[in-house]
Chains A and B, each alone.
Chain A
Amino acid sequence: MTTLYFVLFLPLGSAIFIRSMAGRLSKGLSGGIACTSVLLAFASAALSFLNLKGMAVDQRSLILPIFEWARVGNESMRFDLLLDPLSAVMICVVTGVGSLIHIYSTSYMHEETDSEYARYFGYLNFFVFSMLTLVLAANFIVLFMGWELVGVSSYLLIGYYRSKTSAADAGKKAFIVNRVGDFGFLLAIFIIMGRFNSVNFSEVLPFAAAKLVAGSSLATITALLLFMGAMGKSAQLPLHVWLPDAMEGPTPVSALIHAATMVTAGVFMVARCHAIFELSPVAMTCIAWIGATTALFAASIALVQNDIKRVMAYSTLSQLGYMVMGVGVGAYSAGFFHLFTHAFFKALLFLGCGSVMHAMHGELDMGKMGGLKAKMPITYWTFLVGSLCLVGVFGTSGFFSKDEILYQALTSPQGSFGLWLMGTLGAACTAFYVSRLFFKTFHGEPRDHHAYEHAHESDSAMAIPLIILAVASLLISLLGLPSFIAQNFNGFDQWLDPVFKDLVRGADTATVNPWALSALYSAIAFGFGGLGYRWFARKSETPDRIYKAFSYIHAILWNKYYIDELYDFVFVRGFLGLSRWTYKYFEQGVVDGAVNSSGELARRGSSFLSEKIQTGKVRYYAGAVLFGAALVLLLLLRSL
């Protein structure tokens, strides 16, 4: 258990150390310290995982007390860590993928100055610490603390390129939108505190059914408020606007935070608190529909984007939608498995994009790329693996996880055909835009010859993590084979069983042949993939003609359904207008008016008195003295 200390506090210590040295470290030193700390954390995480594996199944829930945070009467709020199958998986993912990204960053960020480089690694380490705090939390307060800390880290890292206004704005946008979600989350925590008199998971979750009546409005409200937090952090539909803009940050940051880890915190939280969500079918239906809508919505936008990172961002949004839909229909294990696989291949894809950007000297527009296959073989092949996983080609990890989610969406009691249909359409869009991205970038004739000449493969620090992630993406598929392929072989499911064993699963509401579904998905994948090949690998006029024909729809998709503009108009302008109005009439009118008036009053009052009394005329003073003496005399004589 003590290995958990290392997991959590090594990254923190290295972050503090690097930042406190304030750029006096050389690049090699700061990068080395950062990477080492996360690697050691990964080693400790793996050790903890193995420790847990060695224990009996029903004992796999360990609480490591750290310190007592606050005490109110007899209630004590503690900072404790919880190691159970769910958090063990998460810490391995966070530290594992995290350390690969750290290594990748040592090369990617090489052009920065020493102090900026150190700043980057300090923030990145701090992020790892924050995320680990979030997943290792043993109570809602520590969870929320980690929640907020990852928000801060995200803000710092998105706005890493301080001199770019767009980056700073994107950081603010991410934080503020997250805050909206956090508001709901906090309210939910308050309700839980009030209802359960405790915030510890061990005291809340097993007794959820006892304290919160199933199906009651309180349960629904609590569940929905909790989900509001997840909406903010995992960028579900109304609160998704920050994620595409978050691409302003450096690409490794996008890989780590906005693909593999931070955005999955919402899904993690829903999985952790499933006991509460199970109590409200209404909430779960909402969650499932929001997830499905986000999946389809984001996938449709990705169809027309030209910026490779944007495509990846919308793809992440879409995949998050799948995860949310999964947990929304009660398939917690499936949703979580998709989170797990997605972390690997999405990180791989982002790092691949980074590699391409590096080669093309920061160019992001697909329209200027092409034919990079010949120049960057390692990137090409790893990117191919990642793309196949994302599309969900049979045999890749992405296939198994997505397939399971869609199957549950169709068959579970809370699922429905509509959800399945949206998911499948989303998968079709995914196949299309992924192949479009892939073929436009790596195949065909180079469209910008000058950049093409200078393109080169990345160095080993960047290439090796790519390779490792590609291999991992392929291998982890073996962990979660769905039940119709190999009975009782789903290692992932079994591992998470202690966490989800209290779930009562209703009977399937629909019977579908799972092989038929798999065949359908494969057909969709190959079909749209092939279409992409025809249109983009070789020069073709068809895409442009289609875009022109449907230019109206194209405009909507390209402008992200104008949601940003809507928010700007309603919230931003509205709020600014209100602020201005308040400033003018209240701040200046009332407050300043009161202060100035009282000052004026004091001035005029005292000057009035002073002018009349302190005339400077001697006789007047003498008269006053005598008058006073007479008064005193009178009073004295009276008292006698």
Chain B
Amino acid sequence: MLNIDLSLTLATLIFCIGATGVLVRRDPLVMFICIEMMFNAANLALVALANHFGRIEGQVMVFLVIAVAAAEVAVGLAIIIAIFRTEKDVDVDTISTMKG
């Protein structure tokens, strides 16, 4: 039986690394990848707990999360491409039209 603590710790670490990546990187695509990483960490936690408690619902949830994450990635990338088609600049910091 694999140690549940280890899995959860791993999930937490990956989540934090992903969070750091979102804050630090200025490249929108890499930011997005880091967001996906955070999703991944959550999935890992879910699977680990499903395994620990012997309930299959956790895996069901992961299933749905993967589907939703896929949709979200597609839409997000479409937005990024749309923005950068008009702005021609790829730096997140300079895109501040929502200022104020």
Contact = CB atoms under 8 A, between A and B. Distances in A.
Interface of A: 610-611, 614-619, 622-623, 626
Interface string B85-100: 0000000110111111
A616 B92 contact: no
Contacts of B100: 610-611, 614, 616
Interface residues of B, number: 13
Contact of B92 (A610, A614, A618): A618
B22 interface: yes
Interface in B53-100: 92-93, 95-100
A623 B22 CA distance: 8
Contacts of A626: 19, 22-23
A585 B28 CA distance: 59
B19 A619 contact: no
18 contacts: A611-B100, A614-B98, A614-B100, A615-B96, A615-B99, A616-B97, A616-B98, A617-B92, A619-B22, A619-B23, A619-B31, A619-B92, A622-B22, A622-B31, A623-B23, A626-B19, A626-B22, A626-B23
A625 to B, nearest CB: 9
B52 interface: no
Nearest 8 A/B pairs, CB to CB: A616-B96, A616-B99, A616-B98, A618-B92, A622-B22, A623-B23, A626-B19, A617-B96
Contacts, number: 32
B23 A618 contact: no
B12 to A, nearest CB: 11
A626 B20 CA distance: 10
Contact of A614 (B19, B23, B99): B99
Interface of B: 19, 22-23, 26, 31, 92-93, 95-100
Nearest to A621: B98
A619 B26 CA distance: 8
Contacts of A616: 95-100
Contacts of B92: 617-619
Nearest to B19: A626
Contacts of B96: 615-617
Contacts of B98: 614, 616
A618 B31 CA distance: 10
A531 to B, nearest CB: 93
Contacts of B95: 616, 618
A89 B31 CA distance: 103
A617 B31 CA distance: 13
Nearest to A613: B100
Contacts of A611: 100
Given A611-B100, A617-B96, 14 more contacts: A614-B98, A614-B99, A615-B99, A616-B95, A616-B96, A617-B92, A618-B92, A619-B31, A619-B92, A619-B93, A622-B22, A622-B31, A623-B23, A626-B23
B61 to A, nearest CB: 19
Contacts of A623: 23
A610 B98 CA distance: 12
Most buried by A among B31, B95, B98: B98
A617 B100 CA distance: 10
A615 B97 CA distance: 9
A622 B21 CA distance: 11
B93 A617 contact: yes
B81 to A, nearest CB: 16
A611 B22 CA distance: 23
Nearest to B38: A626
A622 B93 contact: no
A241 B96 CA distance: 75
A87 B15 CA distance: 100
A618 B99 CA distance: 10
A82 to B, nearest CB: 75
Contact of B23 (A610, A615, A622): A622
B94 to A, nearest CB: 9
B85 to A, nearest CB: 17
Nearest to A611: B100
A611 B26 CA distance: 21
B100 to A, nearest CB: 6
A618 B95 CA distance: 8
Contacts of B26: 619
A339 to B, nearest CB: 79
A610 B100 CA distance: 6
Nearest to A614: B100
Contacts of A615: 96, 99
A614 B99 CA distance: 6
A622 B92 CA distance: 12
Contacts of B99: 614-616
A611 B99 CA distance: 8
B90 to A, nearest CB: 13
Nearest to B98: A616
A637 to B, nearest CB: 12
Contacts of A617: 92-93, 96
A490 B95 CA distance: 107
A618 B83 CA distance: 13
A527 B22 CA distance: 118
Nearest to B35: A622
Contacts of A622: 22-23, 31
Which of B26, B31, B93, B97 has the most chain A CB within a 10 Å cutoff? Answer: B93
A601 to B, nearest CB: 19
Most buried by B among A610, A611, A622: A622
A149 B26 CA distance: 82
A219 to B, nearest CB: 75
A315 B95 CA distance: 91
B23 to A, nearest CB: 5
A623 B26 CA distance: 13
Contacts of B19: 626
Nearest to A607: B100
Nearest to B94: A617
Nearest to B28: A618
A435 B93 CA distance: 103
Contacts of A618: 31, 92, 95
Contacts of A610: 100
A54 to B, nearest CB: 91
Contacts of B23: 619, 622-623, 626
A262 B100 CA distance: 70
Nearest to A610: B100
